Amino acid sequence: MTIRARAPIFAAGLALLGSGCERVVDLDLEPGPVRLVIEGGVRRPIGGTDSTQTIRLTTTDQLTSDRPPPPVRGALVEVSDEQGHTWRFAEGEPGIYRAAFWPVVGERYLLRIEVDGERYEGSDVVGAVPPIDSLYFEFEESNIAVGDEGFRAAIDYTDPAGVENYYLWEQLIDGESSLTPDPGNRFRVIGDDSFIDGARITAYQPYDEAIVEPGQTVVVRQVALSERSYRWLFALFEQSGDGQGSIFSVPPASVRGNVANLTNPEHYPLGYFLAAQVAEASATLAP
Amino acid sequence: MVRLAVITVDSLGIRVESNQDGFYALVLPAGAHELRVRAVGYTPLTTPIRIGEATTLDLLLTPKPLELEEVTVAGRAENTPDIDPASPEMSVTRLDLETIKVTPVVLGEADPIRSLTLLPGVSAVSDFSTGISVRGGGTDQNLILLDESTIYNPAHVFGFFSVFNAEAIDHVELYKGAIPARYGGRLSSVLDIRQREGNASEFEGSGTIGLLASRATFEGPLPGKVGSFLVAGRRTYADLFLKLSSDPDLNKSVAYFYDLNAKTNVRLGQTGALMLSGYFGRDRFKIADRFSASWGNEAATLRWNQGVGNRLFSKVTLTYSDYDYGIGFLGSGPAIDWSSRIRNLDVNVDQTFYLDNRNTIEAGLQATDLDLRPASIRPIGDSPVVPTDLQPRFGLATAAHLSHEVDFGPVSLRYGVRLSGFRRRGAATVARYADDAPIVYNATLGRYERGVVVDSVRYGPGETIVSYQALEPRVSARLSLGESKSLKASFSRTRQYLQLVSNTNSPTPVDIWEPVGTYLTPQRADQVAVGYAGTFGRDRYEITVEAYYKRLRDVADFIDGADLALNDRLETETVQGTGRGVGLELYLRKRSGRLSGWVSYTLSRAEQRFTGLDDADPGINGGAYYPAPYDRTHDLSVVAVYRKSPTWTIGSTFLLASGLPTTYPESRYDYGGLLIVEYGDRNTSRLPLYHRLDVTATRTWGGKQLQFGLYNLYNRFNAQSIAFRSVESQPTAAEAVQTSIFGIVPSVSFSFRF
């Protein structure tokens, strides 16, 4: 649940008023430099048994290119903590780098990447997250805000009192991510506790447009964010999907993450190195 | 009363003007003279006068019979033109109700603000919005006054209509530069809107039925003919159609707005008057049981005008203004009610001394008490939301002004100064940051971050947190080049102590205003302008040419990805830079004949620059000047009104303008399965050329009027924006999507008098 910065929902809800009609146009745009894109980081699951850590490296591509994101192969990827441990990530599928270890909540982890003669570094602290108290399904009638009738996954959790908390919710339905390009993600898929500090939140649907069919299994992950990573995702979501079409949208800009290019600062990378504790719950909707 | 009437004594070459309140002073030697009086909308009057000693003379002008068939620009044939070549005033534009009504508008709802965008130096920020940019400035740099009361958010339907009901408006004056010393508080312009006075001699009513809204006005004399009153109302009825819907969500939805305008005048003796006017308007929206919104303005003005002796005109004005909004979120997650309010109380004392026919001195004092409540959050029902209030903002804006207008015949000069001040007051807690930096640049990551709070300072109720003062000189001069032609020049300095907290493409009803304080400093602007004004062909043609140059300092801008809503520490999201603007404006108007109208062309450039917080920070676009959001290189409007017959009038407008600056992406990437586009430097591209033709046809007969309109006649697909998203069939590829607000839009409205 997020209330902060919910003003634009108001605009989004009424985008129907301001969006008018649309048409796909051809533009001849000057392509920019190819940049490294970092996705993933280190995660500490609550009660999980899998210690695999995954970092995905791809690059930017021409705007109208229809190929999948180009993977970055043969990079040196290392994560170290402040106690002197270093973990080398090995490349599996092209661009996917893995290592196995248990990060510790409250510790800072440093990412180091070397590729094409350039060195990149970024760091993040593993934030704490409360557990998901329960995951269940709620039936919604068809309505303007969320679409067709059907079941939605809902969670209960208790926000820890007296500390600032920021959240990201990931949801998989039969293994497939429920995340779709929608500027509204910034009000549901991520959240903070500005006005609900210490409250027990019930029946929260981070993906209130994702319909769950009987027999499907849903996994919801509650991921700890920091103020910085929350704001980074907020800006990213704000510009994704139809986020730029409305008169109530903000002027678009590059969304800069937490990894820097130390060799050539101008050739900055995109994406984010995220360290987080993660709570997970799963449930199957009875057929 | 008749404002801006020109009174001349031809034998002595004396010329004076009545002021905004109809008051004038004339110094004549003893003996017999002949006065000539001319005024907008009145039959010229010539009257003999015999002077023995100081005399108070009421001049009664007969309104020109203004029947509906005269609802054309030509209705002002013998009037003083907009830019009076004999006055030192410049960069001012006047629009009267009749002009506003005859210019075609979308959905047939006459709107004074939309009409202004057809004039040089004024442009709309979007087809959707009534937000205007004056000489390239921001939408919050315009001071909007309704009967001298500040209107903080002039928007209905998220900005689609302005709150000004054309039926209740007498006229609109827009100062784009050379702003008189009595006005202040915004950098770019002053939009002075006056409500209409009621008919002082007989009762009269009128109504309009439109597609979107209906309007009614009723006016007449007060008992004993001591004055007059006017009441006007307007309400939309789109929601009545929602109720007919079979969709349970839609028929539970609400969407309407209304306006109520009222004004009454009472005469106090021969040279005094009391005026009370009010405006109340509100929008309400509710979407099913999920979301509700309501916002509105309340404004009230009490004014006392008094001529004291024969040379002093005194005016005391008390205004109150209130803007509030409330939003309810119900849907998924905790239900909240979010409200916000801005309120001000203003006292204004203005004295005008008519020393003689050549010298006028104006002096005044002004104090405005501001009370802003940026946000108040409350739970709805059993929601776990913790009731929270953002800190209120208190401030006192003050001003003293003095100006002298002197007329040497071929040369006239108006010079003055405004001493403005703003005092930010407690109660408040102000955060203090490490290195006094509320915002810092992280050079490694190339982005701005919030400063680190080290402690905070508590200020008690009424205690001064910070105060700012400035001298704002204002000068304008006129040099006559023979009869009805003149050269003009002006300089004005303006300060702005309040800014709108908005980083969206167009202002929204939920934007709040933030006063200057410990970190945010006043925005400043200097403007010089030179111009030529002249009338030709027995005043049938009017030409003005003006060129201006502006420099702006400490202009506030928000960082990329700024988090503005419900933010108690906006200083962590704001940077202040400089700006500059240059422009050439041409305006040619034909006032009479069967074909009347005008051509307006503006060539301009508005840029801004932010060079960085420190040496490590390259600033925005590498610290270079870049186009301001509302910069338009070319802007052409052609307005033509053709009186085909006594019953039929055809009105049309054509617009041609450069597209607004925009930022296009340079590549795309994938994050979490989402296609994200990567942007380069800000505002380095432009949207496609904008053009549009609108037409109205008006039939008038016996106090009735039927108007048909076609907006965007040839259905031009004008770009509101060009955005980028993933192709549905191929989610890894991006496509450019151009959005347009309106295609061709027909309208019809019917007006009648009773």
pLDDT in tens, B680-723: 889 999 999 999 999 999 898 888 989 898 989 999 999 888 88
Query: Residues of A numbered 161-190 whose beta carbons fall under 8 angstroms of chain B's beta carbons: which are they?
Result: 177, 179, 181, 188
Higher pLDDT, A83 or B161: A83
Whether B674 and A234 lie within 8 Å, measured CB to CB: no
B311-342 residue pLDDT tens: 899 999 999 999 999 988 876 667 889 999 99
Residue A277 in contact with partner chain B when CB distance is under 8 A: no
Across the interface, whether the CB atoms of A64 and B734 are under 8 A apart is answered: yes
| B chain contacts of residue A64, beta-carbon cutoff 8 Å | 733-735
Residues 139-168 of B with CB under 8 A from A: 157-160
pLDDT at A19: 47
Minimum distance, in Å, between the CA of residue B289 and any CA atom of chain A: 10
- A123, A158, A248: best to mutate for the B interface, most B CBs within 10 A: A248
pLDDT digits 0-9 by tens, A195-219:
899 999 999 999 988 999 999 999 9
Amino acid at B242: L
DSSP code of A200? E
Considering only the beta carbons, identify the residue of B331, B388, B734 that sits closest to A63: B734
Contact A23 B737 (CB under 8 A): yes
CB contact (8 A) between residue B669 and residue A20: no
Q: In this predicted structure, what is the pLDDT of residue A9?
A: 43
Q: Do B288 and A144 touch (CB under 8 A)?
A: yes
Q: A185 CA to chain B: closest CA distance, Å?
A: 11
Question: What pLDDT shows up at residue B97?
Answer: 74
| Burial class of B52 by CB neighbour count within 10 A (0 to 12, 13 to 18, 19+) | exposed
| Pairs of CB atoms within 8 A across A/B | 294
Alpha-carbon dihedral A267, A270, A275, A280, rounded to 10 degrees: -160
Specify the higher pLDDT residue, B724 or A225: A225
Is the pLDDT reported for residue B66 higher than 70? no
Shortest CA distance to B106 belongs to which of B46, B161, B26, B29? B161
Tens-place pLDDT, residues B225-237: 899 999 999 998 8
| Minimum distance, in Å, between the CA of residue A140 and any CA atom of chain B | 10
Residue B258: pLDDT band (50, 70, 90) is: very high
Which secondary structure element, helix H or strand E, spans residue B500, and what is its range?
strand B498-501
Q: Please give the pLDDT value at position A44.
A: 96
- B508 to A11: CB separation less than 8 angstroms, yes or no: yes
What would the pLDDT profile of B417-431 be if each residue is shown by its tens digit? 999 999 999 899 999
The answer to whether residue B464 scores a pLDDT higher than 90 is yes
Cβ within 8 Å, pair B674-A17: no
Summarize pLDDT for B469-518 with one digit per residue, the tens. Answer: 999 999 999 999 887 899 999 999 999 999 998 888 777 888 889 999 99
Q: What is the maximal distance between C-alpha atoms in chain A?
A: 58
CB contact under 8 A, A260 and B717: no
Give the burial class of B681: count Cβ atoms within 10 A of its Cβ; 0-12 exposed, 13-18 middle, 19 or more buried.
Answer: middle
Residue B41 confidence (pLDDT): 61
Q: Which residues of A touch B385 (CB under 8 A)?
A: 3, 195-196, 199
Among candidates A19, A30, A256 on the partner chain, residue whose Cβ is nearest the Cβ of B445 = A256
CB of A38 within 8 A of CB of A274?
A: no
Q: How confident is the model at residue B65 (pLDDT cuts 50, 70, 90)?
A: very low
Position B334 scores a pLDDT of 77
Please state whether the predicted TM-score (pTM) of the whole model is above 0.80: yes
Identify which of A252-256, B25-29, B171-175, B457-461 has the greatest average pLDDT. B457-461
Q: Which of B90-104, B286-300, B660-674 has the highest mean pLDDT?
A: B660-674
* Interface mutation vs chain A, best among B251, B283, B444, most A CBs within 10 Å: B444
Best mutation target among B239, B512, B689, B739 (most A Cβ atoms within 10 Å) is B739
* Mean model confidence pLDDT for chain B: 87
Least confident of B63-77, B158-172, B205-219, B669-683: B63-77
Reported ipTM = 0.93
Contact check, Cβ <8 Å, A244/B721: yes
Q: Which of the four pLDDT bands, split at 50, 70 and 90, describes residue B627?
A: very high
Among the partner-chain residues A8, A20, A234, the one whose CB lies closest to the CB of B739 is A20
CA distance B470 to B492: 13
Q: Supply the pLDDT for residue B310.
A: 80
Structure tokens at B322: 């209130």
- How many CA atoms within 13 Å lie on the side-chain side of B371? 11
The answer on pLDDT for B347 being more than 80 is yes
Question: What tens digit of pLDDT does each residue of B712-754 get?
Answer: 999 999 988 888 888 888 777 888 888 888 888 888 889 888 8
Touching check for B732 and chain A: CB below 8 Å? yes
Report the pLDDT averaged over residues A35-54.
93
pLDDT value for B64: 45
* Three-state secondary-structure class, residue B237: coil
Supply the pLDDT for residue B78: 35
Check CB contact under 8 Å for A21 and B740. yes
- What is the per-residue DSSP string for B30-94? SEEEEEEEE-TTB--EEEEEEESS-------PPBP---GGG-SGGGGTTSPPSS-TTSS--SEEE
Residue A166's contacts (CB-CB under 8 Å, 6 or more residues apart) are: A127, A190, A191, A192, A193, A224, A225, A226, A227, A229, A230
pLDDT, tens only, A83-132? 999 999 999 999 999 999 999 999 999 999 999 999 999 999 999 999 99
- Percent of chain B at pLDDT > 70 equals 91
Task: Specify the DSSP class assigned to residue B163.
Answer: S
* Selection from A201, A125, A209, A211 nearest residue A174 by Cα: A211
In terms of Cβ atoms closer than 10 Å to its own Cβ (0-12, 13-18, 19+), residue B419 is: middle
Q: What is the pLDDT of residue B67?
A: 30
Q: Check CB contact under 8 Å for A29 and B666.
A: yes
Tell me the C-alpha distance between B673 and B56, whole Å. 81
| B chain contacts of residue A33, beta-carbon cutoff 8 Å | 666-667
pLDDT of residue B2: 65
Taking CB atoms and an 8 Å limit, are A63 and B724 in contact across chains? yes
Report residue A5's pLDDT band, with 50, 70 and 90 as the boundaries: very low
Find residue A219's DSSP bridge partners. A172, A282
The answer to whether the CB atoms of A17 and B386 lie below 8 A apart is no
Interchain contact B564–A (C-beta under 8 A): yes
- pLDDT attached to residue B71: 27
Which of B563, B672, B720 shows the shortest C-beta gap to A247?
B720
B467 in contact with A at a CB cutoff of 8 Å? no
